[in-house]
A and B are shown apart, each in its own frame.
Chain A
Amino acid sequence: MAEERQLAEYLARCAQGDQKALEELYVQTSGLLYGLCLRLIRRSDLAEEVLQDAYLRIWHRAGTFDSAKGSPLTWMISIVRNRALDIMRGAAYQAERHTEDVWAGQHETTDPGPLQEATLGSDARALEECLEQLREEQRRSILMAYYEGYTHSELAQRLGKPLGTVKAWIRRGLEQLKRCLD
């Protein structure tokens, strides 16, 4: 895919210390990555912090990206999500998160819309089809965990189901997704 090759090239230039390449990368990808952060963290100040940290990590680690092993966007998404989940691990953040349920409610994920083909291509179509094959409660709990960053117990609370039930939905849903995709 042309766009992926372009991103890989920017990363290669970053690895050589070309700051202009990082700027290009930022222009192309920051909207997607910031949207992802914001939805996970729900606080714009922390989401900005995560985004800033993530691009600095991308800059420092650009040399470790291996285009033979995967897509540059997948690599960047993982960096952003891991950084966001790190911040969400903090106790102070957790305490505040529970008081912000109103905000959270407005952003709850329901059924999938069309995936952005331009960025993630045929993989996106395949994933969409496989998600369609899951039971509603499996799909819903997986998507809520991915986008909103809910833990098992938060999901159990929000869905009004026992913890064990929610864990089983996610576990079986993921197993089924893997079988479908591979």
Chain B
Amino acid sequence: MPRLDRYQDPELVDRLAAEYVLGTLRGLARARFEALCNQRSYIRAAVEAWERRLAPLAGRAGAVAPPARVWRQIEAELANEQALIERAGRRRWWQQVLAWRLATAFSVLLAVGLIAYGARKFEAVVHEAPEYVVVLENESRAPMAVVAGMRNPMRIAVNLRDEVPMPKDRVMVLWCLMADTEPVPMAVLDRREKVIPLDQEEWNAMERAQGFAVSLEPPEHPMQKKAPEGPVVYQGKLIEL
């Protein structure tokens, strides 16, 4: 037989609701009652009724104008939240793209990408069998660059095709796109061939990555950004070989 639930007693609930709104229900009892209030509508109704009864008391606490900094801080917090939302929105867009690419025949894309890229060039950068490969493609899904991850020593090699224009007033930044955290800037691609040494932590991060992307960033502190600010021009999914 179920234990009798004391919170089904309407008189008790009303008394607790009154003391909750008055503020004399404190500590653990307050937290417990608050949790129940969120679960049971009749408790919430009792609380709301007491809030209505006692609200007029607030009217004569005496108004005091808060310092101007309070509103400034609220505004700053809202601006900060807005930036976070926009960043999250961008990440979602990537994840959508990556999810869509996952649904396509990846091995075929990879093969086509590598052939189109030219195996000779690829070998020239890589020297050993890579464990991870990413074919970075542009908007029309033409392969533009290859990223290969090698373990001994731990490094990634990036090779840009000759067709890739080297930007003048922007810099190309290579990003590691993580599944559940912010993207990580890996390197500024200032040459067509680039080898980036990784430590164990970076290697582990790469193994958990969804893919890589290249964006065009303003030249100031391109590696200190938490997410691409400029347009993402190439991207591709990480493939374990």
Interface residues of B in 12-49 (CB under 8 A from A): 14-15, 18-19, 21-24, 26-27, 30, 48
Closest 3 CB pairs between A and B?
A116-B59, A31-B63, A124-B56
Does A23 interact with chain B (Cβ within 8 Å)? yes
Interface residues of A in 135-153 (CB under 8 A from B): 142-143, 145-147, 149-152
Interface residues of B in 54-84 (CB under 8 A from A): 54-67, 69-71, 73-75, 77-78
Report yes or no: B65 in contact with A69, Cβ–Cβ below 8 A.
Answer: no
Report yes or no: A146 in contact with B22, Cβ–Cβ below 8 A.
Answer: yes
Nearest to A23 among chain B residues (CB) is: B71
Which secondary structure dominates where chain A touches chain B? helix
Which of chain B's residues have a CB closer than 8 A to the CB of A85? 23, 26, 30
Contact with A along B3-17 (1 / 0, CB 8 A): 000000000001100
Which of chain A's residues have a CB closer than 8 A to the CB of B63? 31-32, 34-35
Which of chain A's residues have a CB closer than 8 A to the CB of B59? 32, 115-116, 119-120, 124
Report yes or no: B64 in contact with A34, Cβ–Cβ below 8 A.
Answer: yes
With A56-B77, A77-B55, A146-B57: A51-B70 Cβ-Cβ less than 8 Å: yes
Chain B interface residue count, CB cutoff 8 Å, equals: 37
Residues of A within 8 A of B (CB): 19, 22-23, 26, 30-36, 38-40, 48, 51-52, 55-56, 59, 69-71, 73-75, 77-78, 81, 85, 89, 112-116, 119-120, 123-124, 126-128, 142-143, 145-147, 149-152, 155, 170-171, 174-175, 177-178, 181
Which of chain B's residues have a CB closer than 8 A to the CB of A143? 57
Task: Kindly list 11 other residue pairs between chains A and B, CB separation below 8 angstroms, not including A22-B74, A35-B62, A147-B61.
Answer: A32-B58, A32-B59, A32-B61, A35-B63, A56-B77, A112-B60, A124-B56, A147-B57, A149-B23, A151-B24, A174-B22
CB distance from B44 to the nearest CB of A (A): 10
CB distance from A80 to the nearest CB of B (A): 8
